[in-house]
Amino acid sequence: MVTLAQFGAGRIGKIHAANIQRNPRATLKYVVDVDPKAAEALAAASGASVADADRVLADGAVDGVIIASSTDTHKALAEAACRAGKAVFCEKPVDLDSVRVREVVKAVEKSGVLFFVAFNRRFDPSFSALHQALRAGRIGKVEQVIITSRDPGPPPASYVKVSGGLFRDMMIHDLDMARWLLAEEPTEVYAVGSCLVDPAIGKLGDVDTAAVTLKTASGAICQITNSRRAVYGYDQRIEVFGAGGMLRAANRTDTTVEVADGTGVIRDKPMYFFLERYAEAYRIELDHFLGCLESGARPLTGVEDGLRSLLLADAATESAKAGRPVKV
Amino acid sequence: MVTLAQFGAGRIGKIHAANIQRNPRATLKYVVDVDPKAAEALAAASGASVADADRVLADGAVDGVIIASSTDTHKALAEAACRAGKAVFCEKPVDLDSVRVREVVKAVEKSGVLFFVAFNRRFDPSFSALHQALRAGRIGKVEQVIITSRDPGPPPASYVKVSGGLFRDMMIHDLDMARWLLAEEPTEVYAVGSCLVDPAIGKLGDVDTAAVTLKTASGAICQITNSRRAVYGYDQRIEVFGAGGMLRAANRTDTTVEVADGTGVIRDKPMYFFLERYAEAYRIELDHFLGCLESGARPLTGVEDGLRSLLLADAATESAKAGRPVKV
Amino acid sequence: MVTLAQFGAGRIGKIHAANIQRNPRATLKYVVDVDPKAAEALAAASGASVADADRVLADGAVDGVIIASSTDTHKALAEAACRAGKAVFCEKPVDLDSVRVREVVKAVEKSGVLFFVAFNRRFDPSFSALHQALRAGRIGKVEQVIITSRDPGPPPASYVKVSGGLFRDMMIHDLDMARWLLAEEPTEVYAVGSCLVDPAIGKLGDVDTAAVTLKTASGAICQITNSRRAVYGYDQRIEVFGAGGMLRAANRTDTTVEVADGTGVIRDKPMYFFLERYAEAYRIELDHFLGCLESGARPLTGVEDGLRSLLLADAATESAKAGRPVKV
Amino acid sequence: MVTLAQFGAGRIGKIHAANIQRNPRATLKYVVDVDPKAAEALAAASGASVADADRVLADGAVDGVIIASSTDTHKALAEAACRAGKAVFCEKPVDLDSVRVREVVKAVEKSGVLFFVAFNRRFDPSFSALHQALRAGRIGKVEQVIITSRDPGPPPASYVKVSGGLFRDMMIHDLDMARWLLAEEPTEVYAVGSCLVDPAIGKLGDVDTAAVTLKTASGAICQITNSRRAVYGYDQRIEVFGAGGMLRAANRTDTTVEVADGTGVIRDKPMYFFLERYAEAYRIELDHFLGCLESGARPLTGVEDGLRSLLLADAATESAKAGRPVKV
């Protein structure tokens, strides 16, 4: 049985705590949060105790920590956990500044702890099955990757302000998917962005609509399209084209019901947002982390994956501003 | 070049005349219709002449005749064509009375002419591809056949009155499909019918909603469902289940466009009615008839197929009235 | 917090025990099974104790019981639970003999306990959404219901022998769905059955391939098709046709991945069997039972629904044997 | 009745000649081709005569000409037709050199003749319905356009050599679609290209795999992906995303048949290539041209559309070579 502590009792923290509770291989001992009420509520719901970071890290019974607090606290917590020899399950992004992420990379290397960066999409059953078919050679060598990623609605300005911008906050997931599917590092990034959804986002110097083109040394090409608002729900699709065919993963829906009437044949729109669409992915990534902890295996996404995706997001941010492709 | 004459200048007659005109292997020499205006209009549009039946059948240049006139005229025309040694392309049904159809069977046998009964659905590219996959053994032995057939809207009472009833007029197509797909004659027919769409149909003693179960000697089962009204268009689907899998042919649509909005994901409803859905089937069945004429090959559907489907429709009619299965 | 005890530690028992454990509203106190090893294993996995029926029913802390033991034990346990004033969650079928089920109906009426018959399909999110759309008037009055239900593979002869036959064991689920969707009792049942899948089933006097037609007083028609073997998985589809359109619920798949290659475009086959396909339904039906227990509301499916479906299954069995429709 | 002459008796010429023959509003009087055998064969099949360009253009009975000869001959023929006052139906591209296309633009303006550039995809029923829904406001303001366009197999080196390169030869169609769907001129083009399919194409300095990003003044973004080889057939899809939803047009297939077996559920791959996929589009564009000729209406795609798409293709070619975005 793995004993865990969790930093962060917000939206994503609740997901992880519930999954720990449901998982027969793990138990949640502590919940830490700057908001005592939130910490207490989640601790009560999870059979855990409220504690502060020091107590958590000093407790020898704690095998690992879930870092699901606000992004600006990730680095210090991650480094402290490394020093305390705790395995780390860290929500993305590790940090918004690549210099600081490199410091975490060093701390991880020095400590030798298990460090998992929670790129949840890799654990979605459909994306994961697509990746498996790809690696099994189902469509031969990858030539083109097309990633569609649209949120149902834009975040509030307060969030956008501290988000690091669309490329680091939202597209970073797609950049990680691109690296994973291409199985080769992109060497060039070209990005265009527009503010078409919410003028408040533009006033903050950010974009809400974007397209990125990645190219690898071998000539494979990836196109990513992002929007902060899709009225029909969370649009999460992947297409990989290769010498021997094409693999696609479509959106998921709540039901398979369709109604035919005088206007057409109507099916469900995609599931609403990430909590719904990636509910299984969150459960599976926890299992993956626990498995690595038990077996000593390398996690599918380590701190260096967090760094590399951030470097791509930085390059995209720079490209969109400068209006030219950027080498990575 | 095959020289044809056509009886009937109505809706289906226009389809056949246009297909003959477009077909490089055939030419339409005559159009015959009781309505001189209709005959003249179609003859003008087709580069043909108006004539009466006697002249058509006496003209040695005429290789074959299309019988697309009203059902009650089919038998006499078919027999006359047999006597004149003309190949016959006969719209379904050959006649509404099986005794009379047997007389046509005899006339055909005696004369040895090519006699094609136009069960157009067998020539639909999707149904035809399904049948081909079936015969190629794609799903092994057939165990269940499910046929869905719904019209967009009910015919007028005037038509219903002379139609022979739903089973002989509408379901006869599905009964022919069932025979073709089962590749074995049904030995028992059970039918239920209701009048749910238009009370006027019920007043005429007919039904507008029906379900039939067929069983063959080997135990294969077929279910057919019919309705005279589907608000979403012409619903024409087939499912064949076998020991090694299932084959299905879905409805066809005008376009592949789908729109996703706040209400769902909306695709086209099925094509409107038989003229649209089976436009290609009408062209292909003409080609088939011409091919048989040129090569001497047996047609896919001969007069005996017309008879056997009618006998199944008769049995269904009797079953629905008597409330018990009927042996065939 | 509702305290439950469970009779039966087999395949379906494990599902229910796991769902209770995961459900924050309930706790499992006892597991009862004739096989002490199975009882102990499940009790250990569920944090419950092993007990016998008498102790369970005498324990005033027990609010309700899950009856998931073998079918022949349902009646006695159900009646004992009624006498003890425990709420009952009873797996289908209540019993294979309608006379005995009527006795349970009386026991339930006399005791006034909550009695839920676990027709799991009604709780499947897709079927449930379809039903909700239907009752909301989305397609107007129901005229035709088409239910497809095929298992991936036939059960062993030992199971078939005590199953009550295909109509009572397998189709009973579809008969319950038919009643629910028609919202009107069928008055006539016609069934045909064949043994096409496994001769051992035929030797036991049962069929493995069947089709049923139901008709209601208002003239609505339902067709059900069953097979004990579908090589492509568990085929569970529903189509409801009405005056204003059609509702369909398709099969569910493990992923949304499709691969396009030189042979075609290939998607997942349906989920393998009921444990996978109805995993959510099992969770939701437990929630429904707990909700009824807490609120005193009538369950969606009571003992009388178990009886009515069995009467339809009896009628179908008789019809298939006698070769004629049977009034209900 | 419109009288036409046609330059070019090759693959696409045969399509147009057959469509003219089938069209009741037009007649084909002459066929012109440098290969006398090809000209004669097509003339014979079409009921036309073989002639040379001078005779065709001098014949006052000729209302318009179809230019379907090799690309290098388009300009001279187009200009001669303008001088002769004949309406022109010109296959794309007008010319591979934008300077020369501007000369044709001037010739058209000076003469005032109807000049139609045959961007066939605008007439595909699915793309055309998508465009109509878009213009009707179905998804609000356009924000993103995603165009997928892959050929089944690469052309021979001999063709590639004179093709003007992938962007001018193949992607020009997609660039025209982009302009049409965006309803706004792109102001910036970024292109990347690779040679992944056939090294022979790379040796000629061309690419066979490419991605383009277009941006308009209002901030709308278009992504186009091209490949010269898709083993599953001709991949022609469009997605338009807007403030109020998304419109998509999927690939078309020969049939709607699907087979379910132990490996999955398999549907048809897309139609093989442009002759199959755009068969209807070729018929409809001819009708459009004839309608413009009869009514005096402006064609949907005039010579200036040919020019603008070519300028975008030029910019893409330059961008791919220079490795930076190019302003248009």
Q: Is C63 helix (H, G, I), strand (E, B) or coil?
A: coil
Burial class (CB in 10 A: 0-12, 13-18, 19+), D262: exposed
Task: Report d(CA D33, CA D36) in Å as an integer.
Answer: 6
**Which residues of chain B does A268 touch, with a Cβ-Cβ cutoff of 8 Å?**
264-265
- Which of D180 and B24 is assigned the larger pLDDT? D180
Question: In this structure, how many other beta carbons lie within 10 angstroms of the beta carbon of residue B205?
Answer: 11
Cis check for the bond before A93: say yes or no (omega within 30 of 0). Answer: yes
Of D283, D284, D182, the closest CA to residue D242 belongs to D182
Neighbours of chain B (3+ CB pairs under 8 A): A, C, D
CA distances from D256 to B285, D50, D312 (A): 19, 42, 37
Q: Is D92 helix (H, G, I), strand (E, B) or coil?
A: coil
**Which residues of chain D does C263 touch, with a Cβ-Cβ cutoff of 8 Å?**
266, 269
| D265 contacts C267? CB cut-off 8 A | yes
CB contact set of D178 (below 8 Å; sequence gap of 6+): D145, D147, D186, D214, D222, D224, D312
**Which residues of chain C does B196 touch, with a Cβ-Cβ cutoff of 8 Å?**
141, 143, 219-220, 243
**Which residues of chain B does A232 touch, with a Cβ-Cβ cutoff of 8 Å?**
260-262, 264-265
| D265 contacts C264? CB cut-off 8 A | no
Q: What sections of chain D are H helices per DSSP?
A: 11-22, 36-46, 53-58, 71-83, 98-111, 125-135, 157-162, 166-169, 171-182, 199-203, 274-277, 279-295, 303-322
**Which residues of chain B does C215 touch, with a Cβ-Cβ cutoff of 8 Å?**
192, 194
Of B178, B131, B189, B183, the closest CA to residue B318 belongs to B189
| Phi and psi at residue A122, to the nearest 5° | -65, -15
C165: left (phi over 0), alpha (psi -120 to 50) or beta: left
| B261 contacts D247? CB cut-off 8 A | no
| B255 contacts D248? CB cut-off 8 A | no
Task: Report d(CA A172, CA A191) in Å as an integer.
Answer: 13
Task: Report d(CA A318, CA A316) in Å as an integer.
Answer: 5
Pairs of residues, one from chain A and one from chain D, whose beta carbons lie less than 8 Å apart? 110
Q: Per-residue pLDDT for C168 more than 90?
A: yes
pLDDT at D165 (0 to 100): 97
For residues D320 and D193, the answer to whether their CB atoms sit within 8 Å is yes
pLDDT at D22 (0 to 100): 87
Q: Please, what is the average pLDDT of chain C?
A: 97
**Which residues of chain A does B232 touch, with a Cβ-Cβ cutoff of 8 Å?**
260-262, 264-265
Instruction: For residue D116, list its beta bridge partners.
Output: D89
Give tens-digit pLDDT for C49-85: 999 999 999 999 999 999 999 999 999 999 999 999 9
Residue C107 confidence class, pLDDT cut points 50, 70, 90: very high
CA distances from D53 to A166, D49, D248 (A): 59, 12, 43
Task: Report d(CA D288, CA D64) in Å as an integer.
Answer: 13
Give tens-digit pLDDT for B197-224: 999 999 999 999 999 999 999 999 999 9
CA distances from D311 to A271, C236, D118, D171, D186 (A): 41, 54, 17, 12, 11
Angle, nearest 10°, between helix axes C11-22 and C279-295? 60
Neighbours of chain A (3+ CB pairs under 8 A): B, C, D
pLDDT at D84 (0 to 100): 98
| B263 contacts A268? CB cut-off 8 A | no
| A266 contacts B232? CB cut-off 8 A | no
Give tens-digit pLDDT for B107-146: 999 999 999 999 999 999 999 999 999 999 999 999 999 9
| A254 contacts C245? CB cut-off 8 A | no
pLDDT at D24 (0 to 100): 87
CA distances from C299 to C171, C263, C305, D291 (A): 22, 49, 10, 66
Residue A276 identity (one-letter amino acid): E
CB contact set of A5 (below 8 Å; sequence gap of 6+): A28, A29, A30, A31, A32, A51, A56, A59, A62, A64, A65, A66, A86
C61: contact with A, CB 8 A cutoff:
no
For residues A126 and C256, the answer to whether their CB atoms sit within 8 Å is yes
Q: Please, what is the average pLDDT of chain B?
A: 97
Task: Report d(CA D103, CA D94) in Å as an integer.
Answer: 11
Q: What angle do CA C171, C175, C181 make, to 5 degrees?
A: 140
When CB atoms are compared, the residue of D188, D225, D245 closest to A232 is: D245
Distance in angstroms between the alpha carbons of the first and the last residue of chain D: 42
From the candidates A146, A166, A182, A194, which should be mutated to test the interface with D, based on the most D CB atoms within 10 A?
A194
For residues C275 and C287, the answer to whether their CB atoms sit within 8 Å is no
**Which residues of chain C does D268 touch, with a Cβ-Cβ cutoff of 8 Å?**
264-265
Q: Per-residue pLDDT for C297 more than 90?
A: yes
Question: For B248-268, what is the mean pLDDT?
Answer: 98
CA distance D136 to chain A (A): 16
Q: Give B152-172 as a DSSP string.
A: SSPPPHHHHHHTT-HHHHTHH
Task: Report d(CA C198, CA A302) in Å as an integer.
Answer: 52
Residue B111 identity (one-letter amino acid): S
Give tens-digit pLDDT for B169-193: 999 999 999 999 999 999 999 999 9
Q: Write out residues 227-246 of B within 8 Å (CB-CB) of D.
A: 244-246
Q: What's the per-residue H, E or C state across C111-154?
A: HCCCEEEECHHHHCHHHHHHHHHHHCCCCCCEEEEEEEEECCCC
Residue with token string 């690696």 = A135
Dig out the tokens for C193 from the structure: 């059955």
B297: contact with D, CB 8 A cutoff:
no
Q: Is D284 helix (H, G, I), strand (E, B) or coil?
A: helix
Residue with token string 């429904």 = C288
pLDDT at B24 (0 to 100): 87
Give tens-digit pLDDT for A205-239: 999 999 999 999 999 999 999 999 999 999 999 99
Chain D nearest-CA residue for C272: D262
Task: Report d(CA C327, CA C187) in Å as an integer.
Answer: 6
Dig out the tokens for C20 from the structure: 């209770």
For residues A181 and A134, the answer to whether their CB atoms sit within 8 Å is yes
| Phi and psi at residue B92, to the nearest 5° | -85, 150
CA distance D261 to chain C (A): 5
Question: For A229-253, what is the mean pLDDT?
Answer: 98
Task: Report d(CA B17, CA B22) in Å as an integer.
Answer: 9
When CB atoms are compared, the residue of A148, A221, A225 closest to D194 is: A221
| C244 contacts B143? CB cut-off 8 A | no
Cis check for the bond before C93: say yes or no (omega within 30 of 0). Answer: yes
| A211 contacts D221? CB cut-off 8 A | yes
Task: Report d(CA A152, CA D245) in Å as an integer.
Answer: 11
Question: For C102-125, what is the mean pLDDT?
Answer: 98
* pLDDT per residue of chain D (328 residues) written in tens, 0 to 9: 999 999 999 999 999 999 999 898 999 999 999 999 999 999 999 999 999 999 999 999 999 999 999 999 999 999 999 999 999 999 999 999 999 999 999 999 999 999 999 999 999 999 999 999 999 999 999 999 999 999 999 999 999 999 999 999 999 999 999 999 999 999 999 999 999 999 999 999 999 999 999 999 999 999 999 999 999 999 999 999 999 999 999 999 999 999 999 999 999 999 999 999 999 999 999 999 999 999 999 999 999 999 999 999 999 999 999 999 999 9
Q: Please, what is the average pLDDT of chain A?
A: 97
Question: For B25-43, what is the mean pLDDT?
Answer: 97
pLDDT at B312 (0 to 100): 98
From the candidates B252, B255, B268, B271, which should be mutated to test the interface with D, based on the most D CB atoms within 10 A?
B255
Give tens-digit pLDDT for C277-292: 999 999 999 999 999 9
C325: contact with B, CB 8 A cutoff:
yes
Q: What sections of B90-239 are H helices per DSSP?
A: 98-111, 125-135, 157-162, 166-169, 171-182, 199-203
D182: contact with A, CB 8 A cutoff:
no
Q: Give B218-263 as a DSSP string.
A: T--EEEEEEES--TT--EEEEEEEETTEEEEE---BS--EEEEETT
Report which secondary-structure segment, H or E, holds C275.
helix C274-277
Residue A147 confidence class, pLDDT cut points 50, 70, 90: very high
